[in-house]
Structures are given as C-alpha cells and as structure tokens.
Amino acid sequence: MNQSQIDSLRNAPVEPFHHLIDGQSVPASDGETTTVVSPIDGAPLTTYARGTQADTEAAIAAARRAFDDGRWSDIAPTGRKKVLLKWADLIEAKALELAVLGVRENGTEIGMALKAEPLSAVATIRYYAEAIDKLNGEITPTDPAFLGLVHREPVGVVGAIVPWNFPLMIGAWKFAPALAAGCTMVLKPAETASLTLVRVAQLALEAGMPAGVFNVVTGEGPVVGAAIAASMDVDVLVFTGSGATGRRLLEAAARSNLKRVYLELGGKSPNIVFADAPNLDDAAKVSAMGIFRNSGQVCIAGSRILVERSVHAAFVEKLAAQAAAIKVGDPLDSATQAGAVNSERQLRQNLGFVAEAREAGRKVIGGDRILQETGGLYMSPAIVADARPEDRVFREEVFGPVVTVTPFDTEAEAIALANDTSYGLAAAVWTSNLSRAHRMVRKIRAGIVHVNTYGGSDLTVPLGGVKQSGNGHDKSLHAFDKYLDLKTAWVKL
Ligand code: NAD
C-alpha cells in the first residue's frame, strides 16, 4: 500500500448501492435511500437502499428457498470450499479499493482498515473454507446391536446483524463459518458501514456462490434488523453490537420462533499493570494502542487501566507521552494512527464522558475535539489519570478514545476492581511473575485475558464474552458450533 494508490481512490465517485437479494441488486421496495456522509469531511459519499420490512422478508424468503432446495448445503464440502477460496481471492484482489471505500464510510485509519477489514475477511474465509472438509461426524460406542451416528448439519437460515467499527472483519467472523457450514444468510450491516459488505457479497456471486445464499439488506436497525429478529424463517441470529439491542433481539426471538441468538456485546475491559511488568515502556505503548486505535471504537479496547500504586505516576507519564505521539487525523493518510470518530453522536458522547470527569475534579489529559479545515470528526486521546470505581467513565462503555487509570495496592484488589463490571469481554495482565499471570487468567471473568500484550490474537482462538458481554464465540473452530447442528441417527442392526 502506498500513499499515491490511496490518493487515487480517495475521491473516486461511488455509485448508489442497492440491496443484494436472491442474487439481484435491488433498490428498496419504496425507493427510499439513505445518504452516506463521510466522517472524514462531512461530505455526502453516496446513497444506499433504505430497507423496508418487505425487503427484509423478501431476502429471508430467498435465503429460505436457497437453503431448503439444497443448492448450497447439498454441495460437497470440498465444492463449497472451492467457491469460498475463489471468493477470498477476488476480495484480496480488490483489498485496497474495499479498504478505502470502507474508510470513506466509517473513518478507520487506512493502515488498520486494510489489515483488519478486507485482508482479515480474506483470511477468515480461507480459514473456514479449509476447515469445512475436515470436520467429521461421530460413531458412538453403543451396544453392538445398534449403531449410533452423530451427523453435523447446517442449522438453516442465519440472520446476521453487525456493527460499524469493523464491518468486514466482524461480518466475516459470522458469514464465513456460516456459509462454509452450508447455511444461507441474510446480513444487515450497520447504518454507517454498509457499502463494503454489499460489495463483498456481490463478489461471492462472481465466485460461483448460488443466488439467494448470501443476501445483504441495508437500512435501519429498528426496521431491517427488527424484521430479521422477528422472522419465523430465520433459524439462528448472530449479532455484534450494543447490549440494548442485544436485549431486544432476545425478546424478539422469544416472541417469534425461539431462534437461537448469539450475542457479542460491549466491554469495559481491565488492563492490569503490575510493578513487575517486564517493561513499563512497552506496557504503556501497547496499552495506548490497546485503547486508542480506531479511536477507541474496538469492542475489546482496554478502556480501564489498573496500575499498581508504586508505578502509577510513572505509568501515567509514559501513557500520556504515547497518547500525545499518536497521529490523529485524515484516516486516508497512511501515517495516521487514529482516524475519524464514526459519527457526531459518538463524538459528542465521548466528549461528554471527558467533561463529566473534569467536572468531578479528575485529572484529565487530552480529550479535546480536534478541528480540521476539512471538517470531519476528530478527537485527541483522553486519559482520566485518577479515575475511581464509582465514576461513570470507569463503569460505562465509552466506545471512544477515552481511558481511565486507577491505582491498586494488592493482587486481590486488582482482581476485585477488574471484575467490578457487568461486562466480561477482554482483559490483560502485565507481570513477570508466571504464577501470578496464571492466577489472574483464572480469576478474571472475561472471554480473553492477554498476558504482557494487548489485542492481536489470531483466528485460531475464540472471541466471546461472559456476563453481559454476550454468549457464543466468533473465530476458531468453535464458531462452527453456532452454524452446525448435531443430529443423531439411531440404527437397530
Ligand atoms: P448497535 O447495537 O446500535 O448497532 C449494532 C447493529 O444493530 C447495527 O447494525 C444496528 O443497525 C442494529 N440495530 C440497532 N437497533 C436495532 C434493533 N432495534 N433491532 C435490530 N437491530 C438493531 O451498536 P453500535 O452502536 O452499532 O455498535 C457499538 C456497540 O457494539 C458497542 O457497544 C460495542 O461494544 C459493541 N461491539 C461489540 C463487539 C464485540 O465483538 N463484542 C464488537 C464491536 C462492537
């Protein structure tokens, strides 16, 4: 990736986007569109179809037909694998184009977007494509007069509702294992990150995926998302987003067909730095990126740093230096380390948390709106250096570049503070003491506990939350559990 390639794409005109339903690019049934406004400069980028309930039902019906007639699920796993691998190649060939389009829509810095969006989707599709012809069923150890077989079957029609921070990465964590498993899908992208998902779904058709297998309906959560959640024809619903929406989806499932619902929700992840951290500079540097990359709009962001009191002041100083060095600005400048905040609403929310901490007398470093000549939504990283457990900024997910730092005295206190949250998505511990590291991994209630690092785990390990961070897992072979059912054949010989 070089800057001139990015610059050649940054102002390219973007045609209006439609839904992809049953292999066809179709506008909304009532012709309505939504204007996409770029957070880079506040200028309109294009439009997409504003989906209706009827559009969503048409997509679900298409996915239902495609599943029931076996046009995809009855293809041998090696056949599906071939299509998926071709699809990954097509996405890879267009990676930069897709990354720039995504950045123009959601503001993520391009260096990260390229890796974390199209290229991550490519790797994810390849991983599940390669895995699907290596999953065996079971023959159980029964009385010899019987044969007990356990088949794995695709669950049927999967509905997916995804957020705006990493649409392709998070989208692929869901669509790649679901499609590899032989399911069909209706996916609803977030309102402020729709375009790349539509384009990627079009490439699936080009790769030979039959029409109706992968449908994308763009539009608003309470309309399109709600119609998916309420459908009697969606067998499984997978979601990444806020806890509030997650609750609505569970209610809708209970009121409709009891579809299984898997939720990946938010976090308020503790990042615990002991005085015996192997290298405090490294801890400060990695912790800064663990919260400030993509302007803090990362579900696993390490937003609550807990620091052993004896190194608290030194750590804050190092963290502040790291934060001040982060280059915030034009996300299409490849040197930028934190791009635009996704929306005005999100930016105002971030600044509100900072203002409240200041008013409460906390020491706040940074956290200002950055005005740029071009307009756009930018904010400098914020550190609340002496946050207390009762502070709202310590308790609630900001989903922005705002981190709290809180001192502790003992390991037991660190564990208590770490677990003093309704969330349980991620955590980290920095220590040279191996036994302490393993004790912390056991005691912290979170889906992932990093040791002497933050973020960057690969596809081979699962990602999922405990407590109010959700249920079920994306990534790893365990992701197949959501999309493959077990069926028993009990045969009297
Ligand atoms: P959100 O819940 O508002 O939106 C997520 C998706 O749900 C969007 O596609 C939206 O259109 C849809 N939606 C909204 N209302 C709906 C409704 N009534 N019915 C059906 N669908 C509806 O969340 P957001 O603001 O887009 O995303 C930020 C949140 O997502 C943060 O809280 C963040 O922590 C969480 N998140 C979690 C993870 C994770 O892996 N756990 C990853 C990224 C983001």
Q: How far is CA 423 from CA 179, 204, 254, 258, in A?
A: 30, 36, 23, 25
- Which helix (H) or strand (E) is 149 found in, with range? strand 146-154
Give residue-wise pLDDT tens across range 247-268: 999 999 999 999 999 999 999 9
Distance (Å, whole) CA 2 – CA 126: 26
Q: State the distance from the centre of ligand 1 to the C-alpha of 277, rounded, in angstroms.
A: 35
Distance (Å, whole) CA 163 – CA 226: 15
- Which helix (H) or strand (E) is 311 found in, with range? helix 309-325
Supply the DSSP string of 57-106, one letter for each residue. HHHHHHHHHHHHTTTTTTS-HHHHHHHHHHHHHHHHHTHHHHHHHHHHHH
pLDDT at residue 119 in the model: 98
Ligand 1 atom index nearest CA of 162: 9
Q: Is 299 a residue of the active site? A: yes
Contact 224, 77 (CB under 8 A): no
Q: Judge whether residue 370 has pLDDT over 90.
A: no
Write down the catalytic residue from 183, 299, 308, 411: 299
Average pLDDT over residues 304-314: 98
Task: Select from 291, 299, 350, 474 the residue to mutate for testing ligand 1; criterion: most ligand atoms less than 8 Å from CB.
Answer: 299
Q: How confident is the model at residue 372 (pLDDT cuts 50, 70, 90)?
A: confident
Q: State the distance from the centre of ligand 1 to the C-alpha of 120, rounded, in angstroms.
A: 20
> What are the DSSP E strand ranges found in 245-313?
260-264, 270-273, 304-308
Give residue-wise pLDDT tens across range 421-470: 999 999 999 999 999 999 999 999 999 999 999 999 999 999 999 999 99
Task: Give the dihedral sign, CA 335/338/343/345.
Answer: negative
Q: Judge whether residue 180 has pLDDT over 90.
A: yes
Distance (Å, whole) CA 188 – CA 222: 11
Contact 366, 383 (CB under 8 A): yes
Give residue-wise pLDDT tens across range 116-129: 999 999 999 999 99
Q: Judge whether residue 25 has pLDDT over 90.
A: yes
Average pLDDT over residues 356-374: 90
Ligand 1 atom index nearest CA of 228: 20
Average pLDDT over residues 208-225: 98
Distance (Å, whole) CA 315 – CA 308: 9
Kind of pairing between the strands at 270-273 and 304-308: parallel
Quick count: other Cβ atoms within 10 Å of Cβ 345? 11
- Lookup: tokens for 231: 């459908």
Task: Give the dihedral sign, CA 400/444/458/335.
Answer: positive
Ligand 1 atom index nearest CA of 246: 2
Predicted TM-score of the model (pTM): 0.96
Give residue-wise pLDDT tens across range 58-73: 999 999 999 999 999 9
Q: Which residues contact 93 (CB under 8 A, 6 or more apart)?
A: none
Q: Judge whether residue 373 has pLDDT over 70.
A: no
pLDDT at residue 417 in the model: 98
Q: State the distance from the centre of ligand 1 to the C-alpha of 177, rounded, in angstroms.
A: 20
pLDDT at residue 333 in the model: 93
Q: Ligand 1: does its nearest atom lie under 6 Å from the Cβ of 216?
A: no
Task: Select from 198, 242, 264 the residue to mutate for testing ligand 1; criterion: most ligand atoms less than 8 Å from CB.
Answer: 242
Q: Which of 331, 304, 326 is nearest to 380 (CA)?
A: 326
Average pLDDT over residues 367-376: 80
* Mean pLDDT for the chain overall: 97
> What are the DSSP E strand ranges found in 317-471?
364-366, 369-370, 378-379, 382-384, 402-408, 426-430, 448-451
Q: Of how many residues is the chain composed? A: 493
pLDDT at residue 371 in the model: 76
Q: Which residues contact 404 (CB under 8 A, 6 or more apart)?
A: 303, 304, 305, 384, 387, 391, 393, 394
Q: How confident is the model at residue 230 (pLDDT cuts 50, 70, 90)?
A: very high
Determine which residue's CA is closest to atom 18 belonging to ligand 1. 222
Q: Judge whether residue 152 has pLDDT over 70.
A: yes
Q: How confident is the model at residue 1 (pLDDT cuts 50, 70, 90)?
A: confident
Q: Judge whether residue 340 has pLDDT over 90.
A: no
Q: Judge whether residue 102 has pLDDT over 90.
A: yes
Q: State the distance from the centre of ligand 1 to the C-alpha of 321, rounded, in angstroms.
A: 32
Q: State the distance from the centre of ligand 1 to the C-alpha of 17, rounded, in angstroms.
A: 22
Q: Judge whether residue 317 has pLDDT over 90.
A: yes
Task: Select from 173, 223, 245, 457 the residue to mutate for testing ligand 1; criterion: most ligand atoms less than 8 Å from CB.
Answer: 245
Q: Ligand 1: does its nearest atom lie under 6 Å from the Cβ of 448?
A: no
* DSSP single-letter state for residue 294: G
Q: Judge whether residue 178 has pLDDT over 80.
A: yes
Q: Ligand 1: does its nearest atom lie under 6 Å from the Cβ of 221?
A: yes
Single-letter residue type at 346 = Q
Q: Inter-axis angle of helices 195-206 and 167-181, to 10 degrees?
A: 30
Ligand 1 atom index nearest CA of 465: 41
Q: How confident is the model at residue 343 (pLDDT cuts 50, 70, 90)?
A: confident
Give residue-wise pLDDT tens across range 87-100: 999 999 999 999 99
Determine which residue's CA is closest to atom 3 belonging to ligand 1. 242
- Which helix (H) or strand (E) is 238 found in, with range? strand 236-240
Q: Ligand 1: does its nearest atom lie under 6 Å from the Cβ of 299?
A: yes
Determine which residue's CA is closest to atom 40 belonging to ligand 1. 264
- Cβ burial of 352 (10 Å; 0-12, 13-18, 19+) is middle
- Lookup: tokens for 75: 């293809």
Q: Is 264 a residue of the active site? A: yes
Q: Ligand 1: does its nearest atom lie under 6 Å from the Cβ of 62?
A: no
- Lookup: tokens for 394: 């310590």
∠ CA 68-162-18, nearest 5°, is 70
Average pLDDT over residues 285-294: 95
Q: How confident is the model at residue 391 (pLDDT cuts 50, 70, 90)?
A: very high
Compute the half-sphere exposure of residue 331: CA atoms within 13 Å on the CB side of its CA: 31
Distance (Å, whole) CA 316 – CA 322: 10
Q: Judge whether residue 304 has pLDDT over 70.
A: yes
Q: Which residues contact 22 (CB under 8 A, 6 or more apart)?
A: 58, 59, 62, 66, 211, 212, 215
Write down the catalytic residue from 57, 264, 308, 397: 264
pLDDT at residue 2 in the model: 87
Q: State the distance from the centre of ligand 1 to the C-alpha of 163, rounded, in angstroms.
A: 5
Determine which residue's CA is closest to atom 12 belonging to ligand 1. 221
